[in-house]
Amino acid sequence: MKLLLDAHVLLWWLSDDPALANRARSAIENPASTVFVSAATAWEITIKQALGKLDAPVDLERQLGLNRFEPLPITIGHACTAGTLPLHHNDPFDRMLVAQAMAERLTIVTRDPRLARYPVRTLSA
């Protein structure tokens, strides 16, 4: 399975938070899964961290490597798709995840029900 982690899911995973659903945790830890983290997610986390709105690892990039998560860059195609999506969701970071999931055929692991309104696969976190 090819997974794309929403920001809250990434943070729950890194902190071993019990809020992360067992099914999602199993999918992430499955050796057959490839787990991606978008550059948009890292950007979102570090912005909120800098504003004092979020407690997150200061060595986020290192943590991704330690967990064998694959970085997912943002392409021009992703950006163009995100800009043309219906406004089911106003958060630009989440809209980027949707665009990336569409382009790369990824399943978004999230607890946000609004993402399921787009033509992407989701896995409830």
From first to last of its 125 residues, the chain has per-residue pLDDT tens of 999 999 999 999 999 999 999 999 999 999 999 999 999 999 999 999 999 999 899 899 999 999 999 999 999 999 999 999 998 888 999 999 999 999 999 999 999 999 999 999 999 99
Quick one: tokens of 114? 């609004």
Domain 2-124: CATH class, spelled out: alpha beta
**Distances, alpha carbon 3 to alpha carbons 44, 49, 50, 62, in Å:** 18, 24, 27, 19
Q: Is the pTM of this model over 0.75?
A: yes
Cα gap 106→35, rounded to integer Å: 9
d(CA 65, CA 44): 18
Q: What is d(CA 63, CA 19) in angstroms, rounded to the nearest whole number? A: 19
> What are the sequence ranges of the domains in the chain?
2-124
